[in-house]
Structure 1
């Protein structure tokens, strides 16, 4: 990819935008640096990001503590080149020509750190594969 090419935009969507999608966005921002535009949103956003997700990401040196859950909008989906859904089902608007992926991942809500670590690590594996395809 040359510097004149537009950066691909990836939108991560889960129901509450408090755990899985926030961890995925954190991983992609960390691994891609400025090569990819990263968005995240939720179909029914929570009030706060999941503190266990924050702790799990902090263990690997990624700070997502200042992130806030955001509501999913049609404009975010339109802007994205790739839309990765994580358990939001049919709540995500569909636009022909977009690349959609659905990642079946356990929800970290209500889980302890021991249970969230494998979710975090699986998200990293999937983000690395996605990034390899995009760049």
Structure 2
């Protein structure tokens, strides 16, 4: 792994789970980790309930924009975390892959998204402890 590892979070729409995970890793790791986030079928905008859930925890993702998953994103990543995007992510030897089974916050209200957010934060914290 490189001195500054790159972590890519991938979900289908890149509007909820992967955005929350990327925001937590950026917040917790600072410049110690390069963070990417993408989706296999990106939405037009970030899920407003995900925005509200993150705002409650002091993290602003209002300016984030869903991005399309590219092969180059995967190629430059040391760790790829998938969240419900199935086989959309290319596989490269030497890259660490994890699939996080998390409910999709799309269509859920804020009380239902909070536990998803909290689970993501715990997983990101454990990932960071493993990387650094």
1:129 equivalent to 2:130? Answer: no
TM-score for both structures, normalised by structure 1:
0.96
1:87 equivalent in structure 2: 84
| RMSD of aligned Cα (Å) | 0.7
Aligned partner (choices 24, 34, 54) of residue 51 of structure 2: 54
Q: State the distance in 2 between where 1:46 and 1:15 align.
A: 8
Q: 4+ residue stretches of structure 1 with deviation over 4 A?
A: none
- Displacement of 1:97: 1.1
SS at match of 2:20: helix
1:99 equivalent to 2:89? Answer: no
1:33 equivalent to 2:30? Answer: yes
Deviation digits for residues 8-32 of structure 1, max 9, x if unmatched? Answer: 0000000000000000000000111
- Displacement of 1:6: 2.5
SS at match of 1:121: helix
Q: State the distance in 2 between where 1:25 and 1:63 align.
A: 12
Structure 1 unaligned segments of length 5 or more: list them: none
TM-score for both structures, normalised by structure 2:
0.98
SS at match of 1:132: helix
